[in-house]
Amino acid sequence: MLTPLLRTPGARRLLALGACCFLLVSPGLTARAARPLITDDARITDAHACQIETWRKSTRAGQEFWAFPACNPTGNLELTLGANELPDGTGSHTRDYVLQGKTLFHALESGGYGWGLAAGVMRHGDLAPGQARHAATYFYVPVSASFRNDQVIVHLNLGAQDNRDARERALTYGLGSEINFSPRFALIAEMFGDHRTQPFYQAGIRFWVVPGRFQVDATHGARAGDYGGSRWWTVGVRLISPAFLK
């Protein structure tokens, strides 16, 4: 039997959100724009639902693992708590964590456009000597435009980042595209980076195994001018729950 406190709709929604976040980040569960784009889109997780995007990235330095669970408890506020595991160059790994909020001011429509605002903070889980816990803060404006009944969708990001490790601030950008050949299959291509460094390029595929619920994807990318040393491959999955945070 529910206690009097948990009989209220607000308390039940809070309990459901906590349970979902626990399940999504639980080590026993197998599992930004939607995968595999790095450039974000003017879309958010379905209202009152949750999703998880997780992928493995293979580079010359080793294997990286990323997981980004997100929930949209209000209908227009996507909250993401992400984590990664990166090679540290010594045969071991380091971990970072990301907390981000994202909202839309105009939802993307077929044949139309959408835009919003996202902001977040990154923190180090494993500190290097002399390194501060707070790694970076950032914000960006995602803008998306749909063409030919969603057959082609273009995404633009403009923002800024305060990198505490490098003690510098940078303007950030991203330009990405989705070419949807069918409701299940799409090609993606993008470039992204900041004004201080050479841009990164990436291209790949996205396939819905279960439309709207289970997606698999793969990409190949590199930094401009350094293909041999910076190239990477990724494979990932995206899982989306039904709406239950009501």
The amino acid occupying position 214 is: F
The pLDDT assigned to 132 comes to 80
Q: What are phi and psi of 22, to 5 degrees?
A: -65, -45
User: Mind listing the pLDDT tens digit for each residue in 93-151?
Assistant: 889 999 999 999 999 999 999 999 999 999 988 877 767 888 899 999 999 999 999 99
Please identify every stretch of the chain with a pLDDT value under 50, giving residue numbers as ranges.
Answer: 1-32
The pLDDT assigned to 119 comes to 98
The pLDDT assigned to 126 comes to 80
**E strand residue ranges, 164-231:** 168-180, 185-194, 200-210, 214-223
Instruction: List all residues 6 or more positions away from 155 whose beta carbon is below 8 Å from its beta carbon.
Output: 33, 37, 39, 40, 41, 42, 142, 143, 144, 174, 175, 176, 177, 178, 190
Report the Cα–Cα distance between both ends of the chain, in Å, rounded.
20
With a threshold of 0.85, does the pTM exceed it? no
The pLDDT assigned to 33 comes to 64
State the alpha helices, DSSP H only, in 183-239.
227-230
Q: What SS3 class is residue 32? A: coil
The pLDDT assigned to 18 comes to 40
The structure tokens listed for 8 are: 């209220």
Element housing 19 (H / E):
helix 9-25
Size (the chain), residues:
246
Contact 73, 51 (CB under 8 A): no
The pLDDT assigned to 171 comes to 98
Distance CA 203, CA 39 (A): 12
Which of these, 38, 78, 56, lies nearest to 201 by C-alpha position?
Answer: 38
